[in-house]
Amino acid sequence: MADVEMTPAAADNDWVRVTSDDGYSFLVRRKVANASETMRDMLDTAGNYAEAIARTCPVQQRGVIVEKLLEYMSFKSHYETVGPKDEVPVQEFMDRIPPEIVLELLLAADYQNM
Amino acid sequence: MAENVRGPMSALTEFLRSTGITPTTIARRVATQQQQNQPEAGPSNARPSPRRNNSRRDVDEGYASDNLDEPDSPPKKQKKDDDEESDEDAYTALSKSMWTNTPKPAVGSFANCASCEKQFTVTKYTMASSSGPGFLCHPCAKAGGNDPFKKPAAPRKRKVPAEKRTVVHIEERSFPTLVSVCIDVIARHIDDVEAFGDIGALNMDAISKALSKNRSLTSENATLFYGAENTKLALYDATNLSPDGFSTLGHLNPNLTNLRLDFCGPLNDTVMASWNNSFPNLVSLELLGPFLVREAAWIAFLESHPNLEAFLITQSPRFSLDCLKTLIENSKTTLRRLGLREVGKLCDEWLEPIAEISNITYLDLAEPSESLTDDAVITLLAAVGTNLAHLDLSGHSALTDDVLAHGIDPHMHNLTSLALTHLPELTDAGVAAFFGAFNDGAGLVRLNLSRNPELGTEALEAIIEHSGMTLQELNINGWKDVGEEAVNKLGGMRDLRRLDVGWCRSVDDWVVKKILEGCRALAELKVWGVQSCRGQVGGNTKGSEDTRD
């Protein structure tokens, strides 16, 4: 496959695939994937990594962890741009994290640099 | 008028006083006006004043009408005093009320309108006539186009600029990271460890590192890592643990054998005293920054924990020779690893007790306040060098090639890891000669000779000749004059995993290419400060490249 070449407009809006260790696959907008610094670097077209060319980003975590990671990334990309007066419902997001997975999620988040 | 009494005065009062107008003179002038039936006071009313030629500044300004009556001498005296301090450009115009001559009648009294001559009641809104003396009734004032009720314009306040932008900035920065959200969730459930599921399957050490990264390890969530069955515990940033938290650590981990605490600044005498009864099985203690612990507390702790195998502390200005002697007395036969890094009181005398540790394999005495001397180090190495696998004597600026030739070379046959950074007395030829003869070819695994700008081509070629096949980590940071032919040989080191060639001027893209192609195991290459290296491989132009094979 040739190098990924995209116009800047398409670059933000295309879909990328995020896969988990146990075979789950998630399709998200690139904007959402960019919420993770690690993932953004992996998918950066300038870097010419295999992940960027295939537009697929494997995350070495269980599906349930990857799902929660992506939930946070959507949450972040959605609320990051809101005005200063609008409240970010962090508390609600926190309530949606079951304590059973929080330690695993912490490690995954640390790796994803977010 | 009490001339000696001065207090806050309005500009008008000050002006009137300076021009010699007092209540007395006003009253007299009003009387004069009425007598002459002249509505307006003007220059016609003035008569040549004997004071005309005085130095009073208002004389030339045409306010002669105010000089009708000569004031008494006190105002004049006052005037002279004021002249010295008053500004030449002071505001000297007459206020409007002066033109009207007649003071405003009291509020509530009756007056005749100056325009329609009807009687009206004076209020605080009553306005003076603009055309002549006297006051206007309300209808006339309004008819004249003035609004009697108009309030004086409030002084405008300046807006505080750019406030909005600051708020946005703070908002952006405070977006919670997923790590911080997770830490909050952990804190919420910290009293119910079972809620976290099967922790055993997870790498608690990695979690400890993740928590330490943002300095979020606190007395509360540190209990996550505690447990009676724990034998090893490492906290990588204990800055936010309180002294009580450290004591709790002692109570909740009774079976610890290995304890490592980085940035343990709050650790103090009280904690050490409480630890005297904790950790009965402790064999390895590693502390970074226990600078509050005093001599007596160290001694008591070391006496209560005999038979240590490893004692490694970094940065303690209070650890003394007596503490060291106590350690040796209690752990002489078992001690394998000793680290007294950045210990301020370290000196030659300390080496005598250290020489008693016959089985020592790891010795770190780096970065002292004052350097050890050649003779003392050679004597020490003659005594304990045989088993030493790791030696760090960095920062002992008085050490010379003699330590290599007479200390390390003849006595240390099991050395695999050597760090001798920042030793300005080392010479290129001396280091080259040492590696030419050392150990009959049993190579080193780790070698750090950074910050020794005198070392160069000869030394590096000897190192590669001696340990090229075994070295996994090599640091020659700061060898500014090392030659190109020598650095080109770096590519032949097959096992090299970490290499730092920062500030070596002869390193360029071609050398880096050879290293990356030749060292197949390379995991990290640092090229900070190498001007001629453009760094295409990682696309990182900062001078540092991390590459994987």
Tell me the residues of A at the B interface, defined by beta carbons under 8 Å apart: 46-47, 69, 72, 76, 79-80, 83-84, 88, 90, 93-94, 97, 99-107, 109-110, 112, 114
Domain boundaries, chain B: 435-549
Contact: A106, B202; criterion CB under 8 Å:
no
CB-CB under 8 Å, B172 with A80: yes
Can you give the pLDDT at residue B52? 46
Residue B24 has a pLDDT of 79
Chain A residues within an 8 Å CB radius of B175:
76, 79-80, 88
Q: Are B215 and B182 in contact (CB under 8 A)?
A: no
Q: Is B184 in Cβ contact with A109 (below 8 Å)?
A: no
Question: Which among B471, B475, B481, B523 has a CA at the least distance from the CA of B504?
Answer: B481
DSSP state letters, B383-451: HHGGG-SEEE-TT-TT--HHIIIIIIHHH-SS--EEE--S-TT--HHHHHHHHHHGGGG---SEEE-TT
- The whole-number average pLDDT for the span A68-86 is 86
Superfamily of domain A10-111: Potassium Channel Kv1.1; Chain A (3.30.710.10)
Handedness of CA B63, B64, B69, B70 (dihedral sign): positive
Residue B331 structure tokens: 């752990």
Cβ atoms of B434 and B408 closer than 8 Å: yes
The chain A residue lying nearest B168, using CA atoms, is A84
User: Which SS3 state, helix, strand or coil, does residue B288 take?
Assistant: strand
Return per-residue pLDDT of chain B as tens, 549 residues.
444 566 677 778 778 878 877 777 888 777 777 666 555 555 555 454 444 444 444 444 455 555 555 555 554 444 444 444 555 566 665 555 555 556 777 888 888 888 888 888 888 888 887 777 778 888 888 887 777 777 766 666 666 666 555 555 554 456 888 999 998 898 888 888 778 877 766 688 888 988 888 888 999 888 888 888 889 999 999 999 999 999 999 999 999 999 999 999 999 999 999 999 999 999 999 999 999 999 999 999 999 999 999 999 999 999 999 999 999 999 999 999 999 999 999 999 999 999 999 899 999 999 999 999 999 999 999 999 999 999 999 999 999 999 999 999 999 999 999 999 999 999 999 999 999 988 765 789 999 999 999 999 999 999 999 999 999 999 999 999 999 999 999 988 989 999 999 999 999 888 888 888 888 888 888 888 887 776 554 433 334 444 333
Any idea what the Cα angle at residue B292 is, between residues B289 and B295, rounded to 5°?
110
Using CB atoms, pick whichever of B182, B188, B539 lies closest to residue A106: B182
Confidence of residue A1 (pLDDT cuts 50, 70, 90): very low
pLDDT score for A50: 87
The three-class DSSP label of residue B475 is strand
Structure tokens at B117: 């001559």
CB B388 within 8 A of CB B411: no
Residue B172 touches partner A, C-beta closer than 8 Å: yes
Report the chain A residue with the minimal C-alpha distance to residue B194.
Answer: A100
B200 inside 8 A of chain A by CB: no
Query: Does residue A2 carry a pLDDT above 50?
Result: no
* CA A84/CA A68 separation, integer angstroms: 25
**Cα distance between residue B277 and residue B272, in whole Å:** 9
In the prediction, which pLDDT does B167 show?
56
Higher pLDDT, A60 or B50: A60
B189/A102 Cβ within 8 A: yes
Contact flag A112-B178 (C-beta cutoff 8 Å)? yes
Residues B207, A93: C-beta atoms closer than 8 Å: no
State how far residue B8 is from chain A, nearest Cα, in angstroms.
48
| Shortest alpha-carbon distance between residue B164 and chain A (Å) | 9
Closest Cβ–Cβ partner in B172, B197, B210 for A110? B210
For residue B226, the distance in angstroms to the closest alpha carbon of chain A comes to: 15
Q: How far is A87 from chain B (nearest CA, A)?
A: 10
> Which amino acid is located at B419 in the chain?
A
> What per-residue confidence (pLDDT) applies to B113?
83
| A98 Cα to chain B: minimum distance (Å) | 9
Determine the residue among A41, A102, A111, A113 to mutate to test chain B binding: the one whose Cβ has the most chain B Cβ atoms within 10 Å: A102
Amino acid at B399: L
Which chain B residues are Cβ-neighbours of A114 within 8 angstroms? 177-179
Q: What is the reported pTM? A: 0.68
Q: Would you list the DSSP string of A27-87?
A: EEEHHHHTTSHHHHHHH-TTTT-HHHHHTEEE-SS-HHHHHHHHHHHHHHHHHTTS-TTSP
Sign of CA dihedral B68, B72, B73, B74: negative
Dihedral of alpha carbons B541, B546, B548, B549, sign: positive
> What whole-number distance in Å separates Cα of residue B195 and Cα of residue A101?
9
The superfamily (CATH) of domain B435-549 is: Ribonuclease Inhibitor (3.80.10.10)
Amino acid at B287: L
Say how far apart CA B211 and CA B549 lie, in whole Å. 30
Interface-testing mutation among B172, B178, B198, B213, with chain A (most A C-beta atoms within 10 A): B178
Q: Is B506 helix (H, G, I), strand (E, B) or coil?
A: coil
A37-55 mean pLDDT = 86
Q: Residue A47's closest chain B neighbor by CA?
A: B539
- CB neighbour burial string for B52-67, b if at least 16 within 10 angstroms, e if fewer: eeeebebbeeebbbbb
Which residues in chain A have their CB less than 8 angstroms from residue B199's CB?
103
Best of A110, A112, A114 to substitute, by most chain B Cβ atoms within 10 angstroms, is: A110
Three-point CA angle B173, A31, A111, nearest 5°: 65
Q: Quick count: other Cβ atoms within 10 Å of Cβ B536?
A: 12
Using the beta-carbon criterion (under 8 Å), do B203 and A79 form an inter-chain contact? no
- Cβ–Cβ below 8 Å for A94 and B181: yes
What is the C-alpha to C-alpha distance for residues A3 and A5, in angstroms, rounded to an integer? 6
| Closest residue on chain B to A95 (Cα) | B185
